[in-house]
Chains A and B, each alone.
Chain A
Amino acid sequence: DTGVSQDPRHKITKRGQNVTFRCDPISEHNRLYWYRQTLGQGPEFLTYFQNEAQLEKSRLLSDRFSAERPKGSFSTLEIQRTEQGDSAMYLCASSLAQWDSPLHFGNGTRLTVT
């Protein structure tokens, strides 16, 4: 079990630029989640995949955000035309698709928009 891997760990970008983050889940996990976390707050749910299908998107996920999980393996989260309010930690998690399977999180990508 190599755990959930996220890349990059840190990203600094200028306002208006596009950024893309990658998540590699635990290999046998068919569910994959994206969360966002700002300072002093708990993680907020953004979106969820089962295999390659994106089954739910939070209202937090504006049109500038898009997530994909081609072939049901790794996932990418893209933010277009970044804004300063997008600065946060972006966390990826994975789990098995069974009733009580806990989430396993990566260590996140910290985005700073200047």
Chain B
Amino acid sequence: DAKTTQPPSMDCAEGRAANLPCNHSTISGNEYVYWYRQIHSQGPQYIIHGLKNNETNEMASLIITEDRKSSTLILPHATLRDTAVYYCIGSGTYKYIFGTGTRLKVLA
């Protein structure tokens, strides 16, 4: 499974787009990039995943660079409820290895 690197923390103003970066330079061709978030005292919540193409769902957009060495999770209009720890994971097997993630704080 790919090793991922994320900034430890970020702030974002409410209503603005939150762009969370992730480096996964060791990702292999068949490994997906997954994003999860965890709000205090809850289990991680699945957000989105992708392999090569950009993906969008009702929660977020995922932009993967052409060389697949990095990706960005975009929350288009951040709200206070988006304050959480966001985890980026590269996985091509059954096992998902979590790092320490990015603590996003959305400011009013």
Contact = CB atoms under 8 A, between A and B. Distances in A.
- Is chain B found bound to chain A in the same assembly? yes
Contacts of B43: 4, 91, 93, 105-108
B96 A45 contact: yes
Summarize B's interface: helix, strand, loop or mixed: loop
Contact of A103 (B85, B96, B100): B96
B9 to A, nearest CB: 12
A104 B96 CA distance: 12
A42 B101 contact: yes
A28 interface: no
Contacts of A48: 94-95
Contact of A45 (B34, B41, B92, B95): B95
A103 B46 contact: yes
Contact of B95 (A4, A41, A56): A56
Nearest to B30: A99
A1 interface: no
Interface in A27-77: 31, 33, 35, 40-45, 48, 50, 55-56
Contacts of B45: 105
A105 B44 contact: yes
B99 interface: yes
Nearest to A106: B43
Across the A-B interface, give the 10 residue pairs with the lowest CB-CB distance, nearest first. A42-B98, A105-B43, A102-B46, A43-B98, A107-B43, A105-B44, A107-B42, A100-B32, A106-B43, A108-B43
23 contacts: A4-B43, A33-B96, A35-B98, A43-B44, A43-B98, A44-B98, A45-B96, A45-B97, A48-B95, A50-B94, A91-B43, A91-B44, A93-B43, A97-B94, A100-B49, A100-B51, A102-B49, A103-B96, A105-B44, A105-B45, A107-B41, A107-B42, A108-B42
Interface of A: 4, 31, 33, 35, 40-45, 48, 50, 55-56, 91, 93, 97, 99-100, 102-108
Given A99-B92, A103-B46, 12 more contacts: A41-B100, A42-B101, A44-B98, A45-B96, A45-B97, A56-B94, A93-B44, A104-B46, A105-B44, A106-B43, A107-B41, A107-B43
